[in-house]
Amino acid sequence: MDNCLFCRIIKGEIPSSKVYEDEYVYAFKDINPAAPVHVLVVPKVHIDSLEGLNEENLQNVVHIHRGIKNVAKAMGINESGYRVIVNCGKNAGQTVFHLHYHVLGGIEMGEKIL
């Protein structure tokens, strides 16, 4: 996906503030943070959204969740807690069509989701 923004960030063609990386996932600070800690965790392979998951690429979900735990530890929010958000499609306001998990923390967000 040559002109996918997050594929280009993973390749290093566009700079990012890296928080964590392994064989399967890349994690970097959101450019427009919504909380003191706001990190995006993305699979290294291009998948459009949650709707792009299938039997062949489903293992990425496991890799992403392992990555999220490592990000939380690296950012020092594993004990205080954090929220994970995945926007999928138009009604959720997804703007970048490369699957990404928002990891938000460093502030008490309360019980309301919306």
Active-site residue set: 100
Q: Is 49 in the site for ligand 5GP (CB under 6 A)?
A: no
Q: Is 7 in the site for ligand 5GP (CB under 6 A)?
A: no
Going by C-alpha positions, the residue among 56, 65, 53, 52 that lies closest to residue 24 is 65
CB 26 within 8 A of CB 100: no
Distance in angstroms (rounded) separating the CA atoms of residues 34 and 103? 10
93 binds, among Zn ion, ligand 5GP, none (CB under 5 to 8 A by kind): ligand 5GP
Note the residues at the interface with ligand 5GP (CB under 6 A). Answer: 5, 16, 28-32, 40, 87, 93-96
